[in-house]
């Protein structure tokens, strides 16, 4: 199950997700607390992008865009 599925369509190719700063604490699978769900997902997506998997592959970016990152 992907807890961040609602944010995947908002994820930008550069590894960014624009989030509000509302205070609605949530914990990820490892138990780490985040300010809100969007910020938790932004960190998750950033890690996926750095590994070169997950979201970037689903978005099927052209090679020219992958190089810019």
Evaluate whether residue 44 is within a structural domain.
yes
- Rounded Cα gap, residues 20 and 35, in angstroms: 10
Q: How many CA within 13 A on the CB side of residue 26?
A: 15
pLDDT score recorded for residue 58: 47
Mean pLDDT (the chain) is 77
Q: What is the dihedral of CA 53, 56, 57, 60, to 10 degrees?
A: -170
Q: Residue 66 pLDDT > 50, yes or no? A: no
Q: Which domain holds residue 34?
A: 4-51
Evaluate whether residue 64 is within a structural domain.
no
Q: Tally the domains of the chain.
A: 1
12-40 confidence digits (pLDDT tens): 766 678 898 899 999 998 999 999 999 99
pLDDT score recorded for residue 14: 65
pTM: 0.66
User: Which residue, among 15, 1, 6, has the nearest Cα to 59 in the 3D structure?
Assistant: 15
**Torsions phi, psi for 42 (to 5 deg):** -60, -40
Q: What is the CATH number of the domain that holds 40?
A: 3.30.60.30
């Amino acid at each position: 199950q992907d807890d961040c599925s609602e944010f995947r369509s908002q994820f930008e190719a550069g590894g960014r997700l624009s989030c509000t700063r509302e205070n609605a604490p949530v914990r990820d699978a490892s138990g780490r607390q985040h300010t809100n769900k969007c910020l938790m997902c932004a960190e998750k997506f950033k890690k996926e992008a750095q590994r070169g998997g997950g979201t970037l592959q689903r978005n099927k970016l052209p090679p020219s865009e992958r190089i810019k990152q």
